[in-house]
Amino acid sequence: MSYYKNEQDYIDVETTNKYKPVKKINVFLKYFLIAVLSLVFGFFGGGLYNYLNPSQVIYQTTTKIENTTANNDNYSIQEVVSKVAESVVQIKVKSLSTGFLGQTITGESAGSGVILSNDGYIVTNNHVVEGADSIYVILNDDTQYTATLVGTDVKSDIAVIKVEANNLVSATLGDSNSILVGDTAIVIGNPLGEFGGTVTSGIISALDREITVGNQAMNLLQTNAEVNPGNSGGGLFNSKAELVGIINAKTSANDVEGLGFAIPINDAKTVIEQIIDKGYVSNRATLGIYTAEIGYNNQGYEAGLYVSEVIEGSGAYDAGIQAEDRIIAINNIEISTYAELSRQLKNYKPNDTIKLTIVRNNTTIEKNVTLTEVIVE
């Protein structure tokens, strides 16, 4: 069984992993590596690196997203929808690329989002707006706005965008830590990029479900409410009409239904507030390397996780880590994939020192690496 980010389009790649990653690219040892270029750093929810373009960041220090749990009432599904439908939006994205003959190609995709404040802050998934040249938001009443990217965080798959509007209907944030298996789950989003405001319902099937989505190790809520491509960034609501999760993944298996996943709102809230306040998420520790993953033995290279590039001035650089070193352990915990590396790094903070075990020229070497903080300029 495999999982993919809940995008409108996705690409199958050959992999030996249990879960399906996003498309990978070759970064070294071309002709036989299935590689993913990734800046390695740790955090509590899995990831690669922050794709912020400084010119796109809005630095805002006055707006905070409050956890305003409303009441203890349980509403019917119809009542929940009537209370929250206006807080869920459609997101349309346009991206420009250069074709083989030098022509400009415009790509379009769609997702969902949830309004956080009446002055226009909206949360969605990073993978919904990643690489976007233009972002458009369509409200429940079909009013359309052009949105600005406030900031994005690949590790948590969270992004915040902003529209210039007032008196919008914002969602009430619930407490995802209080959710129990069997609780009502209501999903509202924009499936297939065409059916905005679609409602599906079910229950919370599992808590703290660890899966790997696009090489990201994430701890998510699981629901059997139907989730389709285009629902990404949409809301998972409870029977109190509170937002308790942000939809971001589903199973890709053809013979399996009822496996949808959402980022717990308590995890998302911490990221959202930092993005609005600073434009990025702080206190993330980094090794300071890019990695490439080999899925099978080939031409003398064993399957595993290799260093493809070392960033000058980083902890890895100072420790003498080199390109083509194969990472096999952190503090004696075995590592063979980026997801495993990310899962371990999330336990550390900047200035922590870890023991990195590598293989270089068939010799096992141990290096002490002092982690540094990821700085978004």
Q: Are 172 and 242 in contact (CB under 8 A)?
A: yes
Say how far residue 292 (Cα) sits from the centre of its chain: 20
Helix, strand, coil percentages (3-state) for the chain, rounded to 5, are 15, 40, 45
Q: Is 142 a catalytic residue?
A: no
Decide: 171 and 87 in contact? Cβ < 8 Å: yes
Evaluate whether 67 touches 89 at the Cβ level (below 8 Å): no
Strand, helix or coil for residue 122: strand
What gap in Å lies between CA 225 and CA 205, rounded to an integer? Answer: 9
Contact (Cβ atoms closer than 8 angstroms) between residue 303 and residue 296: yes
C-alpha torsion sign, points 267, 121, 38, 261: positive
**Amino acid letter at 330?**
I
Closest Cα partner for 123 from 209, 49, 189, 51? 189
Establish whether 133 is a catalytic residue: no
Q: Which of 153, 157, 267, 325 is catalytic?
A: 157
Distance CA 3, CA 343 (A): 17
* Residue 127 designated active-site: yes
DSSP sequence for 274-298: HHHHHSS--S-EEEEEEEEEE-S-B
Annotated catalytic residue within 38, 109, 112, 127? 127
Q: Say which of 38, 176, 201, 232 is annotated catalytic.
A: 232
Q: Tokens standing for 24?
A: 């990978």
**Which residues are known to be catalytic?**
127, 157, 232
